[in-house]
Amino acid sequence: MSQQLGIVVSGSLNKGVEVRLDSTASVEDMAVGRYVTIEGERRRFFGMITDVSLGVIDQQLTQTPPDVSDPFMAEVLAGTSTYGTLHVSPYLTIGGDVANLLEGPQPVKTIPRHFSAVNLASDQDIELVFGKEDKERFWIGNPLDMETKLCLSMENLVERSSGVFGKSGTGKTFFTRQLLIGMLQKGKAVNLIFDMHNEYGWEGRSEEGRKVKALKQLFQEKVAVFTLDEENSRRRGVSTDFVVRIGYDEIEPEDMVLLRQTLNLTEPAVEAVYQMRRHFGKNWLQSTIDLKDSDESKELLDELHIHESTYQNLQRGLATIRRLPFLVPHSPDNPVGRILEYLERGINVVLEFGRYDDVTAYILVANLLTRRIHAQYRERVERAMGEDTAPPHPLVITIEEAHKFLNPGVANQTIFGTIAREMRKYSVTLLVIDQRPSGIDEEVMSQIGTKITFLLDNERDIDSVLAGVSGKSELKSVLAKLASKQQALIFGHAVPMPVTFQPREYGSAESYKAFIPGGEAELRQQTEKDIEELWK
Amino acid sequence: MNTQRVGEVIEASTTDFVAQCYELYQSPPLGSLVKTADSPLELYGIVYHATTTSLEPGRRPIARGKDEASEEAIYQSSPQLLKLLRSEFSALVVGHREGDRLYHYLPPKPARIHGFVYLCSPDEVKEFSQSFDFLNILINTHLPVSVEELVAASLRQMSQVYEDSHTFLVAAGKELAVLVSQFNQLKAILGRIKE
């Protein structure tokens, strides 16, 4: 039930409104991040509590505090001479007339008038703003301190790139798994997941060490697990669909640029890679490795103006790559083709890295595959536009440790930077998961549509996540006060207004039941029933 | 009606009236609610001051008890004293009634001389104290007694008619907290009305 908290006493559109608490409402019951509704004269406003403070009528009270051990004194002063105030940022408004009601909540362009009543938002209010669970919306959790289901439109989510941020151990992986299930369940996009730590395909582990089911176990038909490390997958009892092998000839100089830091390559060494590519063609990697310490090689290096030390540096780097067991001189199969084939059938692909969870392998493979897949997608979308046929399924590529791909040094060169910037034009978007958002290029960050952030405590990380958001300082205080686990703030493209929430439970038998499509069938039945009711 | 007659108006102005008690020393307690009729109005006042003086302003009473055993004996041996002295009280006008309606502000005319003054019944006190608007009048008047004393006395008197006097006093206290700008003044009043 809604409960009056207080009245609006001052405010501005930019800074939000000040609400004076009624004497019946205790400051201690308030919490930043909670939802309130403000009943204006002609419209209702939805807002979030972003700060709570104390006020006194007479400054003397603070200098010579009254004797609060006297209950009578305390009772009289509460809410009169001393009072609590809330700072509320209004985000949405809904007009009172019919046309406005049909339009639904709109972004605020004004603020409520003086002394408008402020109530805690009810379940119906939340439903009005975020919608009900249906075939487009997926239940992701509950708003803070509320029982209502918070639903997220999966269609909106996949329209733009999205990001899940938070310190390690805050629940990013668990939540990402749910988001992926959501996309899968609602069938709004196919996913390609670069699963660095083997957590999304078959099963993952909770912090307590309990095993939790992942995508393949829940959606046998709709998920394919690819692996780079067959042996490791077999040992973990995962049935894999395809073993990925990558040929040397598939590695491009652009891949080396990305690996510059991890391989410790110098700038000239990276330049040398391009020269080698020009000289040797597609097979440059094998040919460069094969260069012997002979006079011919020396001549070649002189010809290409590559310094001896640069050459040595490059060779050392290439040796590291060569040691990756999934790299073979010639790939027997075409992994990109296979991935695309699955994606085209609407089957989600999880690529497990097995034991090769070091950054070099991850960056190399993710970048290499994504570049080709993106190119293919681009071609298909362009063809579909030209021939006026249906475009391919929207594709969401999930990457972890995103700052390695998207840091300011390389964001311009990697395919992930391009995808983040080009956005949905080619139906490919990213789902980035990262614990150091400050390491991600600003430009890329600004293109991420929906951001879900768990607790962050580094000032720079917080700033980079909130960059460009209106009401940044207010959200900052909300973000800083999140619990260290299982609480997140979501804002951006897919939600009408920011909201802090507690992700849905994941890991128990009941929770799986709620996720698998049986639930969907029930939903459909319910809808049909509702329609029948309507016509009665 | 169960109302007690306590005196008669002998001096009146827009803001207050003075009444003489019929019996010596029988003035109503400080802060109590009294009323006097001025048809068709009924004026309500709060007792803020009471005096007992000699009937003639120039003649002061003299000490008589030197040879008496008790104070009571003085009055017994000089029965004329009861007639030579008089008790008066002053009430601040805080509201009026016209027909069924009660107004917590000043009436259009002052009280009539020789109007009878009654102590209000508990029901009337309850009805009158439904609104705390009268507190504003009390706080903003210059009187021989301090405002804190008067406000506290009147609230103490009124609270006696309530079963749950605590709730009444808290509500009154909250009203005062808004009206009184100086915290020290508020503290003084609250200190005088807490049980």
User: Does A58 contact chain B (CB < 8 Å)?
Assistant: yes
Give me the helices (H) in A31-114, please.
Answer: 60-63, 71-77, 98-103
Please say if the pLDDT value at position A323 is more than 90.
Answer: no
Cβ-based burial of B85 (10 A; exposed 0-12, middle 13-18, buried ≥19):
middle
- The angle that helices A335-344 and A359-387 make with each other, rounded to 10 degrees, is 50
Please say if the pLDDT value at position A36 is more than 80.
Answer: yes
Average pLDDT, chain A: 81
Give the C-alpha separation, A350 to A227, whole Å: 8
**Residues of B whose CB is below 8 A from A24:** none
Residue pLDDT, tens place only, A492-503: 888 888 888 888
- Per-residue pLDDT band for B156 (boundaries 50, 70, 90) equals very high
Query: What is the least distance, in Å, from the CA of A10 to any CA of chain B?
Result: 19
Nearest-by-Cβ selection for A58 from B173, B182, B195:
B182
Half-sphere exposure of A144 (CA within 13 A, CB side): 25
> What integer is the mean pLDDT of A1-16?
82
Q: What is the pLDDT of residue A525?
A: 64
User: Does A77 contact chain B (CB < 8 Å)?
Assistant: yes
Low-confidence winner among A82-86, A283-287, B7-11 (lowest mean pLDDT): A283-287
Half-sphere exposure of A375 (CA within 13 A, CB side): 10
Cβ(A130)–Cβ(A142) below 8 Å: no
User: Does A55 contact chain B (CB < 8 Å)?
Assistant: no
User: Does A9 contact chain B (CB < 8 Å)?
Assistant: no
Please say if the pLDDT value at position B1 is more than 70.
Answer: no
Identify which of A60, A78, A55 has the alpha carbon closest to the alpha carbon of residue B184. Answer: A60
A109-125: b (≥16 Cβ within 10 Å) or e: eebbeeebbbbbbbeeb
CA–CA distance from A209 to each of A176, A357, A485, A505, B32 (Å)?
18, 20, 16, 16, 75
Query: What is the least distance, in Å, from the CA of B193 to any CA of chain A?
Result: 9
Q: Do A73 and B177 touch (CB under 8 A)?
A: no
> H or E segment at A54?
strand A43-56
User: Does B181 contact chain A (CB < 8 Å)?
Assistant: yes
Residue type, A477: S
Residue pLDDT, tens place only, A136-179: 788 888 887 777 888 888 888 888 888 899 888 888 888 888 88
Nearest-by-Cβ selection for A76 from B173, B184, B195:
B173
Q: What is the pLDDT of residue A1?
A: 44
Give the C-alpha separation, A356 to A370, whole Å: 18
Q: Do B187 and A58 touch (CB under 8 A)?
A: no
Half-sphere exposure of A197 (CA within 13 A, CB side): 9
**Residues of B whose CB is below 8 A from A74:** none
**Cα Dmax for chain A:** 99
Give the C-alpha separation, A282 to A264, whole Å: 24
CA angle A239, A240, A241 (to 5 degrees): 125
User: Does B188 contact chain A (CB < 8 Å)?
Assistant: no
User: Does B174 contact chain A (CB < 8 Å)?
Assistant: yes
Q: For an interface test with A, which of B184, B186, B193, B194 has the most A Cβ atoms less than 10 Å from its Cβ? A: B186
- More confidently predicted of A104 and B162: B162
Cβ(A77)–Cβ(A109) below 8 Å: no
- More confidently predicted of A424 and B189: B189
Report percent pLDDT > 90 for chain B. Answer: 56
Report percent pLDDT > 70 for chain A. Answer: 93
**Residues of B whose CB is below 8 A from A81:** 177, 183, 186
Q: Which two tokens stand for residue A389?
A: 């046929």
Give the C-alpha separation, B56 to A391, whole Å: 112
Half-sphere exposure of A467 (CA within 13 A, CB side): 17
User: Does B143 contact chain A (CB < 8 Å)?
Assistant: no
> What integer is the mean pLDDT of B98-117?
92
Q: How many CB pairs under 8 A join A and B?
A: 43
Task: Kindly report the number of other CB atoms within 10 A of residue A520's CB atom.
Answer: 14
Residue type, A493: H
CA–CA distance from B63 to each of A346, B74, B81 (Å)?
114, 10, 12
> H or E segment at A535?
helix A518-535
User: Does A24 contact chain B (CB < 8 Å)?
Assistant: no
Low-confidence winner among A402-406, A409-413, B162-166 (lowest mean pLDDT): A409-413
Tallying the residues shown for chain B, one arrives at: 195
- More confidently predicted of A209 and A439: A439
Q: What is the pLDDT of residue A154?
A: 83
Query: What is the least distance, in Å, from the CA of A152 to any CA of chain B?
Result: 46
CA angle A50, A55, A59 (to 5 degrees): 150
Cβ(A259)–Cβ(A324) below 8 Å: no
Nearest-by-Cβ selection for B177 from A60, A64, A77:
A77
Residue with tokens 């000839």: A249
A316-340: b (≥16 Cβ within 10 Å) or e: ebbeebeebebbeeebeeebbebbb
Query: What is the least distance, in Å, from the CA of A61 to any CA of chain B?
Result: 7
Domains defined along chain A, listed by start: 4-121 (no CATH), 151-244+333-522 (3.40.50.300), 248-327 (no CATH)
Nearest-by-Cβ selection for B181 from A58, A70, A79:
A58
Nearest-by-Cβ selection for B177 from A60, A70, A76:
A76
> What integer is the mean pLDDT of B164-168?
90
Q: Do B177 and A58 touch (CB under 8 A)?
A: no
Q: What is the pLDDT of residue A423?
A: 59
pTM above 0.95, yes or no: no
Low-confidence winner among A142-156, A301-315, A361-375, B9-23 (lowest mean pLDDT): A301-315
Please say if the pLDDT value at position A531 is more than 80.
Answer: no
Q: Do B183 and A61 touch (CB under 8 A)?
A: yes
Nearest-by-Cβ selection for A60 from B173, B174, B184:
B184
Identify which of B154, B155, B166, B157 has the alpha carbon closest to the alpha carbon of residue B195. Answer: B166
Query: What is the least distance, in Å, from the CA of A70 to any CA of chain B?
Result: 9
Tell me which residues of chain A, numbers 217 to 256, contact chain B at a CB-CB cutoff of 8 Å: none
Q: Cα dihedral angle (A120, A123, A127, A132), rounded to 10 degrees?
A: 160
Nearest-by-Cβ selection for B170 from A61, A64, A75:
A75
> What integer is the mean pLDDT of B76-87?
89
Residue B26: strand, helix, or coil: coil
Please say if the pLDDT value at position A33 is more than 70.
Answer: yes
Q: For an interface test with A, which of B183, B184, B189 has the most A Cβ atoms less than 10 Å from its Cβ? A: B183
Query: What is the least distance, in Å, from the CA of B186 to any CA of chain A?
Result: 10
Residue type, A486: Q
User: Does A21 contact chain B (CB < 8 Å)?
Assistant: no
**Residues of B whose CB is below 8 A from A79:** 174
CA–CA distance from A433 to each of A58, A189, A195 (Å)?
50, 18, 11
**Residues of B whose CB is below 8 A from A80:** 173-174, 177-178
Low-confidence winner among A252-261, A287-296, B16-25 (lowest mean pLDDT): A287-296
Nearest-by-Cβ selection for B183 from A58, A70, A79:
A58
**Residues of A whose CB is below 8 A from B183:** 57-58, 60-61, 64, 66, 81
Phi, psi of A349 (to 5 degrees): -115, 125
**Residues of A whose CB is below 8 A from B194:** 70, 72-73
Q: Cα dihedral angle (A277, A281, A285, A286), rounded to 10 degrees?
A: -150
Nearest-by-Cβ selection for A81 from B186, B194, B195:
B186
